[in-house]
Structure 1
Amino acid sequence: MAKAYWISLYRAVHDADKLAAYAKLAGPAIQAGGGRFLVRGMPSKTYEAGLDQRTVVIEFDSVEQAIATHDSAGYKAALDALGDGVERDMRIVEGA
Structure 2
Amino acid sequence: MAKGYWVSVYPAVSDPEGLAAYDKLARPAVLAGGGRVLSRGSRVLAHEAGITQRAVLVEFDSFDQAVAAYDSEEYRKALAALPDGYQRDFRIVEGTG
Same fold? TM cut 0.5: yes
Q: Deviations over 1:45-68 (max 9, x none)?
A: 222222111110000011111111
How far does residue 42 in structure 1 lie from its aligned partner after superposition? 4.3
Q: Which residue of 1 aligns with 2:28?
A: 28
Could you list the structure 1 runs, at least 4 aligned residues long, displaced by more than 6 angstroms after superposition.
none
Higher strand share: 1
Q: Name the TM-score, length of structure 1 as normaliser.
A: 0.91
Decide whether the 8 Å contact of 1:14 with 1:85 is kept in 2. Answer: no
Q: Which residue of 1 aligns with 2:51?
A: 51
**SS of 2:57 mapped into structure 1:** strand
Q: Which residue of 2 aligns with 1:8?
A: 8
Q: Could you tell me which amino acid in structure 2 is paired with residue 9 of structure 1?
A: V
Q: Could you tell me which amino acid in structure 1 is paired with residue 66 of structure 2?
A: A
Decide whether the 8 Å contact of 1:42 with 1:52 is kept in 2. Answer: no
**SS of 2:40 mapped into structure 1:** strand
RMSD: 1.4
> Identity, % of aligned pairs?
58
Decide whether the 8 Å contact of 1:13 with 1:85 is kept in 2. Answer: no
**SS of 1:39 mapped into structure 2:** strand
Q: Unaligned regions of 5+ residues in structure 2, if any?
A: none
